[in-house]
Amino acid sequence: SIAMVSLPRDLKAGSTCTATGKINEVFWCNNKSGTNEEAGAQALMSKVGGILGIDFQYYAHVNWGSLISIVNSLGGITVTLDEDVNDRYYTKAVIKAGVPTTLNGEQALGLARARHGTSLGDFSRGNSQQKILMAIVEKVLSSNLGITDMINLVNILGDNLRSNFTMEDIKTGMHVLKSVNMNEMRQVSLL
């Protein structure tokens, strides 16, 4: 089974290298001025694991800009949101709840960043990001992409993806994902 949890960026995570101690600082504080992403990722996995009581083995750090390329390479995605998003001034994302909406890469990025014009701010943004991720996975699975296509999709990410997944892990993950019923994927809210 798959469950997705989004942590709000302002979640207090204990001591970090700043006075605020927010979860979104853990990676940055441990990345040594951008020279050690592995240390940043390991610190974040440890901190989030401690908060949730889960031992994380893998991470993927994806640059925002690659979302545009991924969605466009798939020919767009379709999302159905749980609440209205009216963030026209900041991200230009305006979507009605309950209405299947097809997005191109730029629109998906706008929605992924939208937190203004929503009822729950950062919690709404996390929910939208989960919907985008689910739509990408559904599109990949419904497109019957082979391993070569998946490797090409990973190559589109290029330097925009940092991960400790091996190629074997990705192949195994694709086989596992094909057996998952996407309708049973759970979105867990921290509200």
Q: Is the pLDDT score of 99 beyond 90?
A: yes
Max CA-CA distance within the chain?
A: 48
pLDDT mean over 133-148: 80
The closest alpha carbon to 85, from 135, 122, 133, belongs to 122
The closest alpha carbon to 109, from 93, 94, 120, 122, belongs to 93
C-alpha distances out from residue 15 to 12, 30, 51, 52, 53, Å: 9, 12, 13, 17, 18
Task: For residue 120, give the DSSP letter.
Answer: S
pLDDT tens, residue by residue, 12-41: 988 888 878 899 899 989 987 778 889 999
pLDDT mean over 137-157: 75
pLDDT tens, residue by residue, 31-79: 877 788 899 999 999 999 999 999 999 998 888 778 898 899 889 999 9
Q: What pTM was computed for the model? A: 0.83
pLDDT band per the 50, 70, 90 thresholds, residue 95: very high
